[in-house]
Structure 1
């Protein structure tokens, strides 16, 4: 079975130290070969909450399909405490997005964000 290259973004603006650490642990458990980039403090974009974010880029290889990866990421968000009602309040306990799967760019607009550009440079991509 083929290994697939994946690029993911991680972000939280609530209980940032605790939530990012828990997400990192859960990601590492589910994807043992994950490589986590540097944590970055960023300002919010497009939400009505002035709280800064801790963001991070990660890359990994996996045999899972896009759908399987997205399900794992969604489960991790829930384990960290994400609930749908929080989003409208600007509370982001955890947001994990699959940005790339092999050569397919899944979140084109996200690749323009400063922390993602910095993370790509850090990874040499």
Structure 2
């Protein structure tokens, strides 16, 4: 079995699209675990909306090429089209960042939100590759969820967000929030 790390992001109807992708990925990778979402500012001028990002960790017998093919199929099933990116819309973006000990997307792996979310996994990745940019020790690490069993306080539903979750309208540009 190989361990994989996926990055999942969206800036349009992000909660709905990420939830749909999570359900599909749960069928592809039984036992997959997800971090809670984190909102991030776009790093490119062509994107004017906040991104919702999640990491996922799973075990699989698939090789990287097969995984990439499956996640691209998942992106299309969620609604991603080639023209959306040019319009600044990211319906869904799923990337295979790490396969076993091989970092396949080093620039993505070093992103601050990826490093922050890595600390949420119960069986952390090797400490030598987790950067020193981790969140301060007095912060509570992000919650994780699995497709099969999740403690009640970590379940993410379609209900209104709790007081500690962002209530920003995902279609509102960041400068108006």
- TM-score of the superposed pair, with normalisation by structure 2: 0.67
**Cα deviation 1:82-123 (Å, max 9, x = unaligned):** 000111111100000000111111000011111100111112
Inter-CA distance 47–27: structure 2 relative to 1 (3 Å threshold):
farther
**Cα deviation 1:39-62 (Å, max 9, x = unaligned):** 111111124121001100010100
2:45 is the counterpart of 1:16: no
Structure whose residues are more often helix by fraction: 1
Which residue in the other structure is 1:89 paired with? 87
Larger radius of gyration: 2
Higher RCO, 1 vs 2 (CA within 8 Å, ≥6 residues apart): 1
Runs (5+) with no aligned partner, structure 2: 126-177
Structure whose residues are more often strand by fraction: 1
Q: How far apart in 2 are the matches of 1:39 and 1:27?
A: 16
Q: How far apart in 2 are the matches of 1:112 and 1:102?
A: 17
- TM-score of the superposed pair, with normalisation by structure 1: 0.94
Q: How far apart in 2 are the matches of 1:47 and 1:73?
A: 26
Q: How far apart in 1 are the matches of 2:54 and 2:85?
A: 19
Comparing 68-77 with 40-49, which one deviates more in the overlay?
40-49
2:112 is the counterpart of 1:121: no
Q: How far apart in 2 are the matches of 1:120 and 1:74?
A: 23
Which residue in the other structure is 1:80 paired with? 78
Runs (5+) with no aligned partner, structure 1: none
Q: How far apart in 2 are the matches of 1:31 and 1:47?
A: 34
RMSD (CA atoms): 0.9
Q: Structure 1 segments of 4 or more deviating over 2 A? A: none
